[in-house]
């Protein structure tokens, strides 16, 4: 799967694995959000971060200090967060992982609580599963007729019999 590397950045994943013991799901959320929002300006403000994550600025600051302690962000200037090189690579992986899971859920017809559902899966999915979901997404893109067949099939199916 060599040529898919840019989409999930293997190095980002390896770095994530190295930091796994230190990175909680919540820290992953922060890093993903900081990466997402640093794409344009190259930095993120604590105030914006706390707004977007619905937490108090003091909680955001604490979490950012934890990320700084393991070398993933630079937080020297008051209120402004910069990602380090490792932080960028892991952040990129986390954002791609999020997008791959979200796209898959959308494809199978999940609309309600899409973000929450993505959240529940993304922090626990293995890279092997993620790669295969990524390929399945690609396969669906290349074969849109399969999706309409699936939608028809869903309509005709009785989900009540799921466990019979
Ligand atoms: Zn996410």
Domain-embedded: residue 162: no
Calculate the CA dihedral of residues 143, 7, 21, 74 and round it to 10 degrees. -140
Report the CATH number that the domain containing residue 111 is assigned in CATH: 1.10.60.10
The residue among 36, 25, 14 whose CA lies nearest residue 90 is 14
Does residue 155 or residue 76 have the better pLDDT?
Answer: 155
Beta 44-45 vs 80-83: how paired, if at all? antiparallel
Q: What pLDDT, on the 0 to 100 scale, is given for residue 160?
A: 84
By three-state DSSP, how is residue 45 classified? strand
Is residue 134 a contact partner of residue 42, using CB atoms and an 8 Å limit?
Answer: no
User: How far away, in angstroms, is 94 Cα from ligand 1 center?
Assistant: 7
Is 73 in the same domain as 102?
Answer: no
User: How far away, in angstroms, is 15 Cα from ligand 1 center?
Assistant: 17
Does residue 156 or residue 78 have the better pLDDT?
Answer: 156
Is 115 in the same domain as 76?
Answer: no
Res 3 pLDDT > 50: no
Of the residues 66, 84, 102, the one at which a domain ends: 84
User: How far away, in angstroms, is 152 Cα from ligand 1 center?
Assistant: 30
Q: What are phi and psi of 133, to 5 degrees?
A: -65, -40
- Give me the half-sphere count of Cα atoms (radius 13 Å) on the Cβ side of residue 14: 4
Domain-embedded: residue 159: no
- Domain count of the chain? 2
Res 11 pLDDT > 90: no
Report the CATH number that the domain containing residue 57 is assigned in CATH: 1.10.10.10
Instruction: Kindly report, residue by residue over 100-129, the tens digit of the pLDDT.
Output: 999 999 999 999 999 999 999 999 999 899
Domain-embedded: residue 164: no
Res 4 pLDDT > 70: no
Is residue 45 a contact partner of residue 80, using CB atoms and an 8 Å limit?
Answer: yes
What pTM does this model have?
0.86
Of the residues 84, 102, 120, the one at which a domain ends: 84
Instruction: Kindly report, residue by residue over 22-81, the tens digit of the pLDDT.
Output: 789 999 999 999 999 999 889 999 999 999 999 999 999 999 999 999 999 999 878 999
Is 94 in the same domain as 116?
Answer: yes
User: How far away, in angstroms, is 8 Cα from ligand 1 center?
Assistant: 14
Domain-embedded: residue 8: no
The residue among 82, 74, 66, 120 whose CA lies nearest residue 98 is 120
Tell me which residue range forms the domain holding 34.
19-84
Of the residues 30, 64, 84, the one at which a domain ends: 84
Is 135 in the same domain as 98?
Answer: yes
């Amino acid at each position: 799967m060599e040529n898919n590397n840019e989409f999930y950045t293997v190095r980002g994943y390896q770095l994530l694995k190295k930091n796994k013991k230190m990175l909680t799901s919540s820290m992953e959320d922060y890093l993903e959000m900081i990466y997402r929002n640093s794409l344009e300006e190259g930095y993120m403000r604590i105030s914006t971060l706390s707004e977007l994550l619905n937490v108090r600025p003091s909680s955001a600051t604490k979490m950012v200090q934890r990320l700084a302690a393991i070398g993933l962000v630079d937080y020297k200037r008051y209120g402004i967060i910069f990602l380090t090189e490792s932080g960028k690579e892991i952040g990129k992986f986390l954002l791609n992982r999020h997008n791959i899971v979200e796209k898959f859920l959308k494809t199978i017809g999940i609309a309600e609580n899409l973000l929450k559902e993505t959240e529940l899966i993304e922090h626990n999915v293995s890279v092997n599963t993620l790669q295969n979901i990524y390929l399945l997404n690609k396969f669906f893109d290349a074969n849109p007729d399969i999706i309409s067949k699936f939608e028809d099939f869903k309509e005709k199916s009785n989900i009540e019999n799921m466990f019979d």
